[in-house]
Amino acid sequence: MKKKITIALIIVAVLAVIGYILVSNKEANKAKTDIVAQKNASVSVKTTAVKTENISLDFVANGNFEPTQELTFSAEKSGKVVRILVDEGDYVTVGQTLVIVRSDVVDVNAQTAKATYNNAQADYARYENAFKTGGVTKQQLDQAKLALTNAGANLKQANINVGDTRVKAPIRGFINKRYIEPGSILTGMPASAMFDIVDVSSLKLRVAANETQVASLKVGNSVNVTASVFPDRKFTGKITFIAAKADESLNFQVEIEIANNKENNIKAGMYGSANFESNQKQELKVVPRNAFVGSVSSNQVFVVENGKAKLKKVTAGRILGEKVEIVDGLSHGELVITTGQINLQDGSLVEIIK
């Protein structure tokens, strides 16, 4: 009996020891887990201080080249296309014949108008001589003169119609698109489109500038322009237009006109940059461009306060290369987060990586 009691006590003791070990291990693991969780709650970030620097007011603005003159050339009169004298890609000059329209009826009308005019001219001459001798009245002479005037007007219009059968280019440029073929029937109402003509001998680059940048610009100022496909070539442009009113993004449209080279290497639609040089400097608060959440237009950055990330609304000014001017919202020396923002929320714990 005593032996059974002893065995039972031993078993109880062993179970107690095992239970104690399990509880101790559980508490130790929980402590380790808490430490890891606390460490993982902090997001690793890099920061930089808001600085006040002496910044050049030069800036670069990007846009697309546009033709200074382009036209969708449409028919003024109805008719059937007999011949087309140009094709897409051809360069045309003002007054060059592009299309010949069927002219049978027009030619007959012109001949009739010419004959009528000649007859009215002869009648007026006879009436004028007869009036001098008293053979006709003044009223008859005036009627003959009116008939001659009307015949002259009809002949002039008939000649214009003959000219209209040879459709001529109203501007110089390249035929960018052709809408008609031989045999096409042209209509005047609504007008049939025939060609797109684009003049790229000079181009305009349309860019945007904010209120601070546009304040230093004037119509007539010279600007250095480059095309993305020709980065080593520089073109000299001149500001021809500055918008009097800002657009929805609070930017002002600026147009710069440049003369293309002889080969017309720059095409309308290409990407270009305007380099505005002011030769002036100004003390500005700046932060790195990558400090902004998403993009500069978001006007939001994270700053570090008491070990936490705080989302701040700021007012961004000029983009100066890889730096951005801060007009309002940040103070000199504040720490802005430059990497790691994608993992942050307002109030997140942060660990600054040196």
pLDDT digit string, tens, across residues 120-141: 788 778 878 888 887 778 888 7
Number of helical (H) and strand (E) elements in the chain, helices listed first: 4, 21
3-state secondary structure 280-300: CEEEEEEEEHHHECCCHHHCE
DSSP β-bridge partners for residue 186:
79
pTM for the full predicted model = 0.54
What's the CA gap between 194 and 187, in Å, rounded? 11
Percentage of the chain beyond pLDDT 90 is 38
Residue 145's pLDDT is what?
83
Whether the per-residue pLDDT at 143 is higher than 70: the answer is yes
Model pLDDT for residues 16-45, shown as the tens digit of each residue: 656 666 556 555 555 444 444 444 578 999
Domain locations along the chain:
44-55+281-352, 60-67+198-276, 103-164
Residue 20's pLDDT is what?
62
Residue 265's pLDDT is what?
82
Largest Cα separation within the chain, whole Å, is 176
What's the CA gap between 127 and 109, in Å, rounded? 27
Model pLDDT for residues 231-287, shown as the tens digit of each residue: 888 889 999 999 999 988 888 999 999 988 777 788 889 999 999 887 777 888 999
The answer to which of 130-134, 159-163, 243-247, 303-307 has the lowest mean pLDDT is 159-163
What's the CA gap between 201 and 196, in Å, rounded? 16
Q: Do 44-55+281-352 and 103-164 share a fold?
A: no
Structure-model confidence comparison of residues 272 and 188, the more confident one: 272
CATH fold of 103-164: Helix Hairpins (1.10.287)
Q: In which band, very low, low, confident or very high, does the pLDDT at 107 lie, cut at 50, 70 and 90?
A: low
DSSP 342: G
Does domain 44-55+281-352 fall under CATH 1.10.275.10? My reply is no
Does domain 60-67+198-276 fall under CATH 3.30.360.10? My reply is no
What's the CA gap between 58 and 72, in Å, rounded? 39
Whether the per-residue pLDDT at 93 is higher than 90: the answer is yes
Whether the per-residue pLDDT at 3 is higher than 70: the answer is no
170 prior amide bond cis, ω within 30: no
Q: What is the CA radius of gyration of the chain?
A: 42
Angle 84-87-91 from CA coordinates, rounded to 5°: 115
Among 223, 272, 245, smallest CA distance to 65 is for: 272
